[in-house]
Amino acid sequence: MELLKLYLPEGENKEFQIALVDEPAIESEWHAFNNQHKFKVISDERRIVSGYAMIADMLIPRYDAHRGYYNVKFTKQAIEDIVYNFFRNGLNQNTNEMHQTGDLAEGVFVFESFILDKTRGIKAPEGFKQEADGSWFISMKVNNDEVWEKVKSGEYTGFSIENRFDHVTDKEEELKRLLEEIESNIINK
């Protein structure tokens, strides 16, 4: 099955949004916190949901009429680039429901974020599966009553990112590496 490695195109990218969804592609549901920070407990007072927005190197199955069935994944570097772009451009309020792109959910925003990194001692919070280094973990504040009711009822269970991503296949990466090696050998002779 074909594998596409997705990455953020060069330059500033302000189209990025995070959706609250019923079936996250990364198959990782969030936890909701009460004011004692217990997992899987919902509190009308704090209205916080936390979980993975992206998991490094996870194969995500996709289908389209052109390719048929294939997988996509985001590398650690691609996720880091995405997160830097996200904060550099102040996109923490770019949240929607069920991928209704452009129809932002008022009163819902990312307020906490980190990238798992063993070398820096940054790991998943207690109660969450420790995913691969480079995975992106976020917390959202949900001040929107309608959206919070959907979270509490279990209609929304996780996060899903959306943007226009470029891609490269393993074959294209290998070809690029070989061309760079040949060019280096020619220049060094």
Q: How many domains does the chain have?
A: 1
Please give the C-alpha separations between residue 14 and each of 28, 113, 183, in angstroms, as whole numbers.
25, 18, 35
pLDDT-flagged residues of the chain (< 50): 32-42
The whole-number pLDDT of residue 44 equals 67
Transcribe 24-37 into DSSP letters.
Answer: -TT----EEE-TT-
Asked whether 142 and 47 are in contact (CB, 8 A), the reply is: yes
The whole-number pLDDT of residue 43 equals 55
Asked whether 146 and 72 are in contact (CB, 8 A), the reply is: no
Asked whether 48 and 75 are in contact (CB, 8 A), the reply is: no
The whole-number pLDDT of residue 101 equals 85
The whole-number pLDDT of residue 178 equals 81
Quote the domain boundaries for residue 143.
Answer: 2-187
This model's pTM is above 0.95: no
**CA pair distance 111, 95, nearest whole angstrom:** 12
In sequence order, which residues have a C-beta less than 8 Å from that of residue 83 and are 6 or more positions away? 113, 115, 136
